[in-house]
Amino acid sequence: MPLKLSANLGFLFQDKPLLERFEAAAKCGFKAVECTNDIYEVDKDVLVQAKEKANVKVILINMPKKVTALPGKESEFKESLDLAIDYATALDCPRIHLSPGSLSTPMDWSNPEWQAARSTYLSNVSYAADLCSPKGIILTLEPLSTIPNVFLQYQQQAADYIRELKKDNVKLQFDFYHAQRNGGNLCEFLEKNIDIVGHVQISQVPGRHEPDLEGEINCPFVFKTLERLRFDGWMGAEYTPRSTIEEGLDWAKEYINNS
């Protein structure tokens, strides 16, 4: 199955204001974009205008606050989720990433703080899934390898939670960069868990640059694995270009054309 590519506007086109990045992505051939927390600094109607002017889809946004796993922040989580749903609905965006947040201590499952965080996380994700399911919104969970004390760090950890929750609209956000840093074995994991993968983000390790062959990951091989496994979601180009975006897009032409 041909892979589809979206531009992550939180990483690409950083030389431009947010609203100009939609058009910049379109000029590079991208037909879809994904957005990070900075979209909430802009009125949603203005974002819709920028999206429609550029004629691109918005296929993923982040929830504004990173509190999904933080005990005592349940009301804040629900307010943040409501705002994300409001923006997702306006932008006709089918995916929201639920950011887990960081605890005060390193990962330690014997620590009551971590035990409480696990319970809070599962409860909040379950609540969000039930709220978003009738709206056709998929929720994504992304393990992060670079934030100290972050609640969700490992691919298998996220996979276990998704299978425990048994919510059809809760999926894994599989990021090459984070997956390689915390465990590796990217293709082996994908082989076993492709059924719960709802979104993919791509970059190289180290440096978080273009997902080519200049690093630890054989990115073309992982792409072929995703195609063989018939992954039908989007791949987000979430990387820092080595030079200019345009000069570094040779690897992407095939996937942009598929979108």
Query: For residue 98, which of 90, 88, 108, 106 has the smallest C-alpha distance?
Result: 88
Catalytic site residue 142?
Answer: yes
Query: Exposed (0-12), middle (13-18) or buried (19+): which is 183, by Cβ within 10 Å?
Result: middle
Task: Return the pLDDT at 1.
Answer: 67
Catalytic residue among 20, 52, 238, 246: 238
- Count the domains in the chain: 1
What phi and psi values does residue 244 have, to the nearest 5 degrees? -100, 155
**Residue 148 preceded by cis peptide, ω within 30:** no
> In angstroms, rounded to a whole number, what is the distance separating the alpha carbons of residues 194 and 171?
10
Each residue of 42-98: pLDDT tens digit?
999 999 999 999 999 999 999 999 999 999 999 999 999 999 999 999 999 999 999
Place of tokens 């996937």: 255
- The CATH number of whichever domain residue 42 belongs to comes to 3.20.20.150
Task: Return the pLDDT at 2.
Answer: 85
Query: Exposed (0-12), middle (13-18) or buried (19+): which is 226, by Cβ within 10 Å?
Result: buried
Q: 40: domain range?
A: 4-258
Q: Are 64 and 101 in contact (CB under 8 A)?
A: no
Place of tokens 């990217």: 186
pLDDT < 70: residue spans in the chain: 1
Catalytic residue among 23, 76, 79, 142: 142
